[in-house]
Amino acid sequence: MGTIYIASMISSRAKNHKYVGKWASPPHKNIIKLNVTSFQAKNNKNRLDFSPMTKIEGKYKGYYCFENYWQAGKQLEKYNTKTSKWEDLDLNETKRWWMKQDKPRRKFPSKFSIHVKYADFGNGPLNYIDSRKQVYIPEYYELISSKLDKWKETLKSGKDIVIYDFDGPKKFDGEPLCLPLTLDLLKEKVNYEGNPFGHGYIVGASILNINYDQYI
């Protein structure tokens, strides 16, 4: 068996439309790289298979892509400068806005200062950690579970794989890290509020045949 590594990337698009930025250094040069983000060619198979920004034919629960569905479940608050208080945005209205979108988006547009109060996907409010455990992880896994055989065979053949994601491990100063993916690391990161739990962790765990029930 090879080893799975999880790594973060900090990327941007240059004026010539080429992808640039800082990626965590892999452990050796012969490792196979798996970029699970939308930051690559639109027809790249890894992007199509694993990016939550990928269009889903027939939509996902009424949304253009999984990312839009995930963002739509967030109860947002806006800051009222006149009253100096935070006020809830209408969740039904923001969900309807997300359902109308015909391209992937990461944020709800607002001219006000907004933040996330909690998430609600129909079964009541969920905090930051519980929403990733009860919604994001199991539902994203179902989307990718049929696309893992090639990568499982690659790992079984003894080759190492490094998975790159924007929300992979980072140092406290934001510098990207590359770490071996283990069950202990999954348990640590899924319960850490300081950073998002990137979908790359789920891809890596699934290739390793670590069921999400083991770390949520």
- The pLDDT tens digits for 195-216 are 999 999 999 999 999 999 999 9
* 111: confidence class by pLDDT, cuts 50, 70, 90: confident
Q: Are strands 114-120 and 161-165 parallel, antiparallel or unpaired?
A: unpaired
pLDDT for the residue numbered 14: 45
Say how many C-beta atoms besides its own lie within 10 A of residue 168's C-beta: 29
Q: How confident is the model at residue 184 (pLDDT cuts 50, 70, 90)?
A: very high
* Helical packing angle, 199-207 and 149-156, nearest 10°: 60
N- to C-terminal Cα distance for the chain?
A: 25
Each residue's pLDDT tens digit, 123-169: 999 999 999 999 999 999 999 999 999 999 999 999 999 999 999 99
Residue owning tokens 């090639």: 150
**How many angstroms separate the CA atoms of 153 and 144, rounded?**
16
C-alpha closest to that of 173 among 1, 4, 10: 10
Domain boundaries, the chain: 4-54+129-214, 61-125
pTM beyond cutoff 0.85: yes
Torsion of CA 165, 8, 25, 211, to 10 degrees: -70
